[in-house]
Structure 1
Amino acid sequence: MSVVLEVDNQVYSAEDLVPLLSQYQMLPKLAQEILIDRLIAEVECTEEENTSTLNQFCQQNQLTSDEQVEDWLNKQGMSREQLQKLITKRLRLEKFKQVNCNDQVDAHFIKRKSQLDRVVYSLIRVERPEIAQELYFRIKDDENTFSALAMEYSQGTEAQTGGLIGPVEINAPHPKIAQILATCQPGQLIPPARVGEWIVIVRLENYLSAKLDSPMRQRMLDELFNQWINEVTKQKVSFLSSPVTS
């Protein structure tokens, strides 16, 4: 038996690992990583990029000499070539995304924008409709501030912030609250409405339109690639037999 892993004095052979990968539902992820490695196999890094990533890796792992690097490689069962592929994988994958997905980012953002817009809103939730109705009129008639009543009466964690929630993406709240917010104007107070077990009072404070800035562009790029690689994985990966030992 060829031992490849020891955990808490328990040794595992290569044959033991396949059933474990299946048991822990890691085979699909492994298959996807294999596909990604094949996709980016021809993507190259410059000498400067190779050196920079190696230096960063050594700093992060406190490897200050060639001897320490060799010792780390031996413990991991890796060659220097494998290490270089590992530490440049993220960079090479980003280059692949730029070449293959970047021209779709604008259209994807437009398609997703209504879900990416953010809101700041105030919320009070109580169990009894008559209390909600009273609080609503006290806020509407300026008898009390929304914040003060939320801190005193609201039965959720929002009481700690005076009812204020956000900024959050507009699809983050309960679907019914999200639907209410999508039709509001900033400053608009919404009469009590039932949402699940609660009666809620909502006021939209601010509406923040999503912008295709650098972080958002990266997010859209990642979404496009993840959608694509998930589809490719479904099409090209098959588990031919159950890897469970008897």
Structure 2
Amino acid sequence: MTVVLRVGNRTITTKEIVSLLAGYQLLPRLLFELIVDDAIAPFTCTLEETQSAQQQFCEKNQLNSHTEIQTWLKRNGMTPEQLQTYAVRSLRIEKFQQATWGNQLESVFRSRKSEFDQVLFSLIKTDDLAVQELYFRIQEKETDFAALASQYSEDPSASNGGLIGPIHLSKCHPTLAKMLANSQPGQLWPPTRLGEWVAIVRLEKFISAQLDNLMRQRLLSELFATWLQEQFNEMGEICLFPVGIGE
């Protein structure tokens, strides 16, 4: 039986390797990577891009000399050619993502913008029947919002004067998110029921999401992850075939 891997005093044969991969739940990861390899096959890198990617890889892994690189290669069972392929792989994935979804990002962003918008707001959350009085005191500027929040709010933000955020609107209670999305900075909302609580809310700042480079990369990564999972699901069950005798 062919030995394909030696780790210390242990040898692993062709018959064992698949069983080990399955036992450690590494087969799905391997299949994901094979799907990626097929997808990025048409995308290549220039000599300059390759050299830059290798340099960045070495810097990230603190490989500062030829000796350290050779030691790393032996420890990871890789050849210099495999290291080069691995170093540029993320760049080739980026090229695939851009070619596949780059022209869709603006429409995707517009449809999901509300998920990324953030707000900074003040909150007093209580079941006290006197909440209406608190609202009027704030409205008439008799008492500072933060002081009343610290004294009366039953939300954890009370320790911070009721200030919450910045936080994504999508993470807020649906009623609260709708209120804040339709507010102007400084707008004070009268007592509003949020589930079993009653809340007084004031928007402090609305942070509108922008389709900048960071957002573009986030959307590309999400679209890629969704596509990759769909490709994996379409493959169906993983079928393992027995290794023949004498292999």
TM-score for both structures, normalised by structure 2: 0.82
CA drift of 1:73 comes to 1.0
Q: Which amino acid aligns with 2:76?
A: Q
Structure-1 residue corresponding to 2:217: 218
Change (3 A) 1:102 1:117: same
CA drift of 1:92 comes to 0.9
Distance in 1, matches of 2:36 and 2:104, equals 20
8 Å CA contact 2:180–2:203 kept in 1: the answer is: yes
Alpha-carbon RMSD = 2.8
Larger of the two Rg values belongs to structure: 2
Distance in 2, matches of 1:209 and 1:5, equals 55
Q: Which amino acid aligns with 2:102?
A: N
Q: Which amino acid aligns with 1:132?
A: V
SS where residue 143 of structure 2 aligns?
coil
Q: Which amino acid aligns with 1:183?
A: N
Structure-1 residue corresponding to 2:55: 55
The within-5 A match list for 1:52-131 is: 52-126=52-126, 128-131=127-130
2:19 counterpart of 1:20: no
Give identity over the alignment, percent.
44
Change (3 A) 1:196 1:29: farther
CA drift of 1:112 comes to 1.1
8 Å CA contact 1:125–1:200 kept in 2: the answer is: yes
Q: Which runs of 5+ in 1 are unaligned?
A: 242-246
8 Å CA contact 2:21–2:27 kept in 1: the answer is: no
String of CA shifts for 1:43-81, please: whole Å, max 9, x gaps.
211111211222222222222222221211111111222
SS where residue 62 of structure 1 aligns?
coil
Distance in 2, matches of 1:129 and 1:154, equals 9
Structure-2 residue corresponding to 1:38: 38
CA drift of 1:209 comes to 2.5
SS where residue 171 of structure 2 aligns?
coil
8 Å CA contact 1:31–1:237 kept in 2: the answer is: no
SS where residue 130 of structure 1 aligns?
coil
Change (3 A) 1:10 1:179: farther
TM-score for both structures, normalised by structure 1: 0.83
Runs of 4+ in 1 over 3 A off after TM superposition: 1-7, 9-13, 26-30
The within-5 A match list for 1:226-241 is: 226-240=225-239
Structure-2 residue corresponding to 1:153: 152
Change (3 A) 1:122 1:11: farther
Structure-1 residue corresponding to 2:169: 170
8 Å CA contact 2:183–2:203 kept in 1: the answer is: yes
Distance in 1, matches of 2:143 and 2:72, equals 65
CA drift of 1:20 comes to 1.9
Q: Which amino acid aligns with 1:44?
A: T
CA drift of 1:11 comes to 9.6
Q: Which runs of 5+ in 2 are unaligned?
A: 241-247
8 Å CA contact 1:193–1:199 kept in 2: the answer is: yes
Change (3 A) 1:123 1:28: farther
SS where residue 191 of structure 1 aligns?
strand
Distance in 1, matches of 2:202 and 2:125, equals 12
Distance in 1, matches of 2:27 and 2:158, equals 45
